[in-house]
Amino acid sequence: MAARYLTRGLLENSSVLAELLEGKERFYLFAGTFDVSEQLDLRHLASLQFVKDVQTATAAPVVIILSCTDSKLGITPAKRKACFDAQARSVLACGLDKSRTLILTPRSISSRIYRSVVDVSKYMLINEAVRGAKTDLAALQQELVEAVFCRLPQTLLGETFTKCLRIGQDRFPKAAFERANLPEPAVVQLKPLPMLQGELGNAQTFNSNCQLLFLSDDPPMIEMKIRKHAFSGGGSTKEEHEKHGANLEVDVSYKYLSYFLESDSEWANIKGDYGGGKMYTGAVKERLVCLVKEMLASHKMASMSISDKDLPYLSLTNRPLMRHVILKPSSNMIERERICEEECS
């Protein structure tokens, strides 16, 4: 199932995944951070389904971080736990193998690799850490913890891995990690799922309720959003559409089907017929409406089937997660420290 991401051109750097799938080296998947204060939408679902398909193909462990923003800091511990539990259910309901999935919090990771984060920080310059107008130190710290985590050998579920496949962009600069002599993780980035109004929509009139399909949307809302707001690449008239076909590069319904329709033969038929003018926008939107309704109904049922007793299974108290790795600085790092000591003496 993971092959469809390669054949349909849904990955930014597909060669990395192809090499890992063909090779024999064992690796684990780092699926990124999900904020418990945000509603999950189809962009999250696309990413998690990709992770699920790679996990199914390789039996690789998956690591996911659940974080909490400032707006949630004032809530009670019970409410905070309820937010984390609800998001954990939503994430797991996307089809991940619970027995090979670890859902962590920033605090649980930081406490285990704190010394390594401090070691790397010694070789990081301020202008490397602070990029552009971004000055949120908490966000920078979280990015640093993630970046260090992906570069350290990890013991997950009793097995040691030296290779990490990171899903999504590795935002932190590489220079500091090169000085720290830490290897780069393999990075695969899923091409972003467009907003419903497409790339040609006006960003100044952005309305998330109209532009995004949330996992919590009910069937009538799903149908309304797709039929009313999904940008069409079809011709302006029937004659024009039949003559030139649909512009698949901008048609949102077709793009969504490319991500979520598992049948390669049905996807190829839609691509050929719609792009050739034999199929009309209404039929493509109707197929997408049915597909999204099925997916979200299945997700809701799966989420409800995950009981409270299943969630402690994700706890790390009885699982060997990782071991601390003492960094071995490269020769240029040692020379740099020597020069600094001489200048300060």
Spell out the alpha helix ranges (H) of 132-263. 137-151, 175-179, 208-211, 219-229, 238-244, 252-260
Average pLDDT, the chain: 80
The per-residue pLDDT for range 280-336, each reduced to its tens digit, is 999 999 999 999 999 999 999 999 998 877 764 444 433 334 443 444 544 554 454
Can you give the pLDDT at residue 71?
53
Q: For the domain covering 3-193, report its CATH number.
A: 3.40.50.620
Evaluate if residue 250 carries a pLDDT over 90: yes
pLDDT, residue 1, reads 60
Gyration radius from the chain CA atoms: 23
Longest dimension (CA), the chain: 82
Q: What is the pLDDT of residue 29?
A: 92
CATH superfamily, region 203-303: Tyrosyl-Transfer RNA Synthetase (1.10.240.10)
By mean pLDDT, which of 172-186, 190-204, 282-296 is the weakest? 190-204
Rounded CA separation 329/5 (Å): 38
Which band of pLDDT confidence, cut at 50, 70 and 90, is reported for residue 202? very low
Which two structure tokens, joined as six digits, stand for 192? 């972003």
What is the pLDDT, as a whole number, of residue 21? 80
Sequence-ordered list of residues with C-beta below 8 angstroms from that of 227, at least 6 positions apart, any chain: 285, 289
Round to whole Å and give the CA distance between 16 and 311.
33
The reply to whether domains 3-193 and 203-303 share a CATH topology is no
**Spatial distance between the Cα atoms of 140 and 135, rounded to a whole number of angstroms:** 8
Q: Residue ranges per domain, the chain?
A: 3-193, 203-303
Which of the residue ranges 3-17, 23-37, 77-91, 115-129 would you say has the lowest mean pLDDT? Answer: 115-129
Arithmetic mean of pLDDT, 151-177? 79
Q: Could you read off the pLDDT of 254-263 as tens digits, one per residue? A: 999 999 999 9
Q: Count the Cβ atoms, other than its own, within 10 Å of residue 100.
A: 15
